[in-house]
Amino acid sequence: MHIIYVEMNLRFTRSLFLFCVVLSLAIVSCEDELEIASSPGEISMHLDVPQGTRINAEFPRPSEDPLAPVLKEETDTIYIIYASYKNIFVTLMAGEAKGFNLQVMGSGDYFNITSTKALVNHPGGNVFGFSLITQDNIKPRAFNIAYSVYDAEGRVSNIVERTIVISDRGGKNSAFLSGKIWSTKEEIRGIGEASDTLVIGQSDAFEYSTVLNCYGEPNKTVDVVNEYRVDYERYTFSSGGKITIEVATYQKRFDQLESTNSCSLQYEIVERTGKLEGIWSYHSDSKRLILLYNRIGADEQGNKVVYPDELFEYDIVGDAHSMTWKSAGKDVPVTVTFH
């Protein structure tokens, strides 16, 4: 989800996005056409795999032991923006996992990733992940990978095969994106009665009662009405593949200290603006949009905080006048409408 929120306690179902100045990402020109890679070995040599060791040997075969781990089969295409990275998550259906085996199919070598916690921000539980970092000499193209996991006893799981597409920054037939500034109208997270809707420019109220422990006076019960809204969220896509997101929020929140000191209901008003910058890629054949940006912010004490990169994938329906994004591959669907 990409709407930028300031307070986690406003809606726990939404992501905490502290406003920040973002690391700029160099834009490097590359081929426009996707092509099937002719040299898997060359691709493998120009992949960086954190905590991965390259092994020049045959890819490990699945164990016949019934206690061997089992991975969920995945078939969806993995998109990686040119000269960037992708975190790939897998689901363990049975057994235990100590590490990964990963291969560019046809390369003749493979990577042994010694930890299923190679990702700093891995989900945990039975979901594990590894990262692929593509160097800038891997031009936009498609190739296949295979991966498996192994347990502490060396038993190897089933092998999952998936297609990776290295996508150009920007992309063909994407002029409708870069021709204007896009403003978010609303965002719906979830489906039906379980959904949560955010309308830009419209305040959400959060009401509850609390007791003020007044100094020298009887305690007083007050009805608190906190408010929060996103005033605007604007997306600007450059034709070279750079994206800028500008956002402004308003919050009226209960001020516990001032209310106690005055023995009356007091609020604090917080207005914030911010900007994020990153890269984007659009696939006209599948109408898939990929956004990638990283964030540097500050905690409540003003200390510098570096947050994990945010990567989102959406399927687009629209034209140069209006469009709707629908999140791709998410357990909780997100629909975003723009004008």
Percent of the chain whose predicted confidence (pLDDT) is above 70: 80
Radius of gyration of the chain (CA): 24
Mean pLDDT of the chain: 82
State yes or no: pLDDT of 324 exceeds 70.
Answer: yes
Looking at residues 124-129, what average pLDDT do you find? Answer: 78
Contact status, residue 110 vs residue 318, Cβ threshold 8 Å: no
Look at residue 23 in the predicted model and tell me its pLDDT: 28
Looking at residues 105-112, what average pLDDT do you find? Answer: 96
State yes or no: pLDDT of 302 exceeds 80.
Answer: no
Q: Which domains does the chain have, with CATH numbers?
A: 40-167 (2.60.40.10), 175-204+227-251+270-338 (2.40.128.280)
Look at residue 309 in the predicted model and tell me its pLDDT: 60
> Which one-letter amino acid corresponds to residue 23?
L
Look at residue 27 in the predicted model and tell me its pLDDT: 29
Look at residue 16 in the predicted model and tell me its pLDDT: 28
Looking at residues 318-326, what average pLDDT do you find? Answer: 86
pTM: 0.72
Compute the distance between CA of residue 335 and CA of residue 240 in angstroms, rounded to an integer: 26
Look at residue 171 in the predicted model and tell me its pLDDT: 87
Looking at residues 210-221, what average pLDDT do you find? Answer: 92
Compute the distance between CA of residue 205 and CA of residue 264 in angstroms, rounded to an integer: 20
Burial class (CB in 10 A: 0-12, 13-18, 19+), 271: exposed
Q: Read off the pLDDT of residues 169-190 as tens digits, 9 standing for 90 and up.
A: 998 899 999 978 999 999 998 8
Burial class (CB in 10 A: 0-12, 13-18, 19+), 205: exposed
Residue 146 pLDDT level (bands cut at 50, 70, 90)? very high
Compute the distance between CA of residue 57 and CA of residue 196 in angstroms, rounded to an integer: 50
Q: Read off the pLDDT of residues 226-269 as tens digits, 9 standing for 90 and up.
A: 999 999 999 999 988 999 999 999 999 999 999 999 999 999 99
